[in-house]
Amino acid sequence: RGILPLVINTWNFSNATLNAWTTLSSGGSAVDAIVSGCSTCEREQCDHTVGWGGSPDENGESTLDAMIMDGPSHKVGAVAGMRRVKDAISVARKVLDNTQHSLLVGDFATEFAVQMGFKEENISSDWSLKTWEDWKANKCQPNYWQNVEPNPRENCGPYKPVKRDAKNENINRNLVNYENHD
């Protein structure tokens, strides 16, 4: 038999679980709990895999993705590749509550967030900038390019496409690990 209520989340992000549970215990809804829990990780930058100042892209920029799905209404609110706004899960809730859409992306998600009252700011951190500088100093290794020149295993970009070479595809997927994941 099951027991309600319940909070369960990926990884050992216990403060997120606790804050979601506290929200439920004080009468909050399941959606409230999701926002509370995920916001906790955004603030705490859990393992640098959640929130501002983590996982820099090839340009050194951190962007955020978040999504909420509500069981009773089957509605979704989500943002992807959102730039320069820290509160990803809260913006996703605004998409859920204040639009009839499901997913907003990139700079348009940022514009939506600002319209909804969120602050636009630099969301890099000392950690993300150092990680990016170290990556550039290491000839941009690892990276996710294939079938381009110059050889992406030894060089930074910019790259140009070359004839497909199946034996060189998907060789770097093991760079996703405990500290680097979606």
Instruction: Restricting to residues 100-129, name those near other proteins by CB under 8 A.
Output: 102-103, 105-106
* Segment near other proteins (CB under 8 A); pick from 58-66, 110-118, 160-168: 58-66
- CB-wise, 14 or 115, nearer to other proteins? 14
Interacting residues with other proteins between 28 and 57 (CB under 8 A): 28-35, 37-39, 41-42, 46, 48-52, 54-57
Min dist CB 124 to other proteins, Å, is: 11
Q: Which of residues 84-103 bind other proteins (CB under 8 A)?
A: 88-89, 92, 102-103
Is the preceding omega at residue 152 within 30 degrees of 0, hence cis? no
| Residue whose C-alpha is closest to residue 93's, from 5, 23, 8, 45 | 23
Residue 31 vs 113, nearer CB to other proteins? 31
**Widest CA span of the chain, in angstroms?**
59
Long-range interactions of 135-144: CB distance < 8 A, separation 24+: 135/56, 140/58, 142/172, 142/175, 143/58, 143/172, 144/172
